[in-house]
């Protein structure tokens, strides 16, 4: 039995996969987003750290939820995944006792709003708390785990 292909999503980045596992590890105050089309077996992972970009074309679009989600959807659609997406999010942990900017409290709601405006509904989420999380999507089986 061969080892499955593992695609890892880094912070402030997106990754795409159509087989094996798609993983987002060490999600803390940021938000991990997995968008999956079971019919086409197309999956995308995104690890954003902020909600709304200060401009329409930021240097790192995947740092922000609004520009990152738009970029990911464009790529998924170009690869043949048009609709029927399943969406999961995790993260938004409060890693410090007093959050100076309140980012971990506002980011999850901003991400949900961005996804909703893009026509996507979150089906699975694990938000908040004080521990880091990981997301693992088994693309072939269509199974997601949030650890």
45 touches 22 (CB < 8 A): yes
Q: pLDDT, tens digit, for every residue of 87-111?
A: 999 999 987 655 445 555 799 999 9
Q: pLDDT, tens digit, for every residue of 120-145?
A: 999 999 999 999 999 999 999 999 99
In whole angstroms, what is the distance from residue 140 CA to residue 113 CA? 29
Helix (H) / strand (E) element for 86: namely strand 86-91
pLDDT at residue 124, as a whole number? 97
Q: Which of helix, strand or coil describes residue 15? A: strand
**What tokens appear for 125 in the block?**
């989420």
In whole angstroms, what is the distance from residue 116 CA to residue 85 CA? 12
pLDDT of 1 above 60: no
CA 38 to chain centre: 16
pTM, 2 dp: 0.93
**Number of Cα atoms under 13 Å in the Cβ half of residue 116:** 6
Considering only residues 60 and 95, tell me which one the structure prediction assigns the higher pLDDT. 60
Alpha helices in the chain (DSSP H): 65-78, 103-117
Q: pLDDT, tens digit, for every residue of 4-58?
A: 899 999 999 999 999 999 999 999 999 999 999 999 999 999 999 999 999 999 9
Considering only residues 111 and 80, tell me which one the structure prediction assigns the higher pLDDT. 111
Could you tell me the domains of the chain? 6-146 (3.30.1330.200)
């Amino acid at each position: 039995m061969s080892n499955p292909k593992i695609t890892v999503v880094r912070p402030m980045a997106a990754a795409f996969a159509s087989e094996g596992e798609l993983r987002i590890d060490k999600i803390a105050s940021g938000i991990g987003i997995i968008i999956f089309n079971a019919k086409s077996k197309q999956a995308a992972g995104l690890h954003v750290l902020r909600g709304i970009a200060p401009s329409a074309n930021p240097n790192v679009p995947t740092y922000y939820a609004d520009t990152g989600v738009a970029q990911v959807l464009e790529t998924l659609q170009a690869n043949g995944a048009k609709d029927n997406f399943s969406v999961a999010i995790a993260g938004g942990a409060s890693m410090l006792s007093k959050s100076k900017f309140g980012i971990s409290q506002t980011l999850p709601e901003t991400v949900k709003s961005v996804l909703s405006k893009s026509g996507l509904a979150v089906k699975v989420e694990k938000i908040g708390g004080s521990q880091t999380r990981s997301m693992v999507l088994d693309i072939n089986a269509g199974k997601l785990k949030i650890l």
